[in-house]
Amino acid sequence: MTLWSNPRVRTVLELVVLRAEDSYVVGGAVRDNLMGLDRGTDIDLAVQGDGYAVARDIADALGPGAAFVPLDRTRGTGRLVLTEGDAVTIDVSAFKGSDIVEDLTRRDFTINALAVKMRDLLQFGMTVPIDPLGGVADIKEKRIRACSNDSFRDDPIRILRAFRFSASLGFEVTSETASMIPPCVESLVNVAGERIRDEFVAVLSCGSSVTALRAMESYGVLAAVLPELRPMKGCGQNEYHHLDVWGHTLEAIERLEWIVAHRSTLFGDVTDTVTSYLFEEPVVGRPRVALLKLVILFHDSGKPRTRTSDATGRVRFFGHEKVSRDLFLDAGRRMKLSKRELEIVGGMIEGHMRPTILTDDSVSKRAVYRLCRKFDRDLPGLFLVYLSDLSASRGPARPKGERERAFERAREVLTWYMGLKKRRVPLVNGHDLMSTFGIAPGPYVGKLLRQLAELRDRDKITTREQALAAAKMLIEKDDKP
């Protein structure tokens, strides 16, 4: 069922027409229909009159299953959210200008400056759109063109949006539009962090975003929104790398995108685990795959500050992981990322060197287990970051076959650890420990349970009796002076 044949959506559109005769579907929904895409559940409407009041009144009329979200009362913009079943978001805005044509000419890009009259849509479906600026031709030619010379001055966030559309649609920003970007880049510092976050994460959520990132860097956009990354360019590395820090970072993102695209071949039996991890959304609309690209963008950002060279000329970056984490946290807070996102990304940045044990000649099962336990839910993400990082490090000192060995070990460890998690049922619980050994409730009980879980996962204990005996030994050891 298409969005337009959805009975709930048609009811809303019919109610809009009753309240605003001169009303239109505009923007992305029209563009996507022309491209044969059925992407998502967001609709933009433009009406003659007060869009805020229209959205509010319809929400009231529909009652349960519909919610009104105030967006901008001054500009006459309100949001209607249909909450039953798959959520549908409908934004209703007053004309930007005297009529629909003037409204369209004030929009961001010609591919979005398209409209279909609501009454025609209800009667005939998506018809030939109103297209005052040649947006249909631009869609056919796969180009992104600003609606006016003042487009970026009117709203600098459109600069990021241009690259978002480029990455998501595979379109190219025209040279004329691109030339308008540099004079407006500095204005991005005045844009709210939430708006920067939403557009930037949308770029990173695309299957192929590295081309857009390279273009953003060349036009000074990345330096404006993420100044923490600027010193990475031109910062030389050691013999394990073939590129400077910034070049390595972009190649690592490119390698991540390649790994994600080829995950079924690379990860075998744990492909489903990796896939579900990548597209899970800790915050709605912000998938983990985008967060992994943030990890990679910042994983070496601390290297310029920690770079040292000894008497032999050997270059090192002691402690760069923690400096990189702190630089990310500054940027993440500025972009208003959630506390959970800050923890996920910051934790992986700080720990991105930990999986190097996978390529050691000999590594204890205990060390591997502790790595797995520490990162647990984010273990697939940590391994993806590490493998991307390693794949983008091709200096002359890099041991032959290291990359292949790392992929093999990562697959083996993920298979082993995910198997453990599926069959993990505690042999004893906190109540067992407290009643058997007379321990008071508190953090010590949790410590004992973690120690017993580790012993079990290492096959040191397999029964309840063995677990209680091991707990007794741990308690006696802790009591020794």
Task: Say which range, 158-167, 193-202, 240-249, 393-402, has the weakest mean pLDDT.
Answer: 393-402
**Tokens 């920690």 map to which residue?**
306
pLDDT at 454 over 80: no
The more confident residue out of 464 and 233 is 233
Q: Locate the DSSP E strands across 236-390.
A: 308-309, 315-316
pLDDT in tens, 56-76: 999 999 888 889 999 999 999
- The mean pLDDT of the chain is 91
Q: How far apart are CA 229 and CA 214, in angstroms?
A: 13
Sorted by where each begins, the domain ranges of the chain are 1-138, 142-225, 242-423, 430-479
User: How far lies 229's CA from each of 220, 223, 320, 328, 381, in Å?
Assistant: 11, 7, 14, 9, 22
pLDDT in the model for residue 359:
83
Looking at residue 4, its pLDDT comes to 72
Give me the mean pLDDT over the 431-443 stretch: 86
The model's pLDDT over 314-367, given as tens digits with 9 standing for 90+, comes to 899 999 999 999 999 999 999 999 999 999 999 999 999 999 988 887 778 888
What SS3 class is residue 45? strand
> Is there a common fold for 1-138 and 142-225?
no
pTM of the entire structure? 0.85
Average pLDDT over residues 398-417: 90
pLDDT score recorded for residue 443: 85
Burial annotation 67-93 (CB, 10 A radius, 16+ → b, else e): ebeebeeeebbbbbbbeeeeebebbbb
Helices 379-391 and 288-298: angle between axes, nearest 10 degrees: 50
- pLDDT surpasses 90 at 438: no
pLDDT bracket for residue 453 (50, 70, 90): confident
Q: What is the pLDDT of residue 461?
A: 82
Which pLDDT score, from 0 to 100, does residue 39 have? Answer: 63
CATH no. for 1-138 = 3.30.460.10
* SS3 category, 480: coil
Number of other residues whose CB lies within 10 A of the CB of residue 440: 7
In this structure, CATH architecture of domain 142-225: Orthogonal Bundle (1.10)
Give the residue-averaged pLDDT of 43-64: 92
**Is the pLDDT at 481 greater than 50, yes or no?**
no
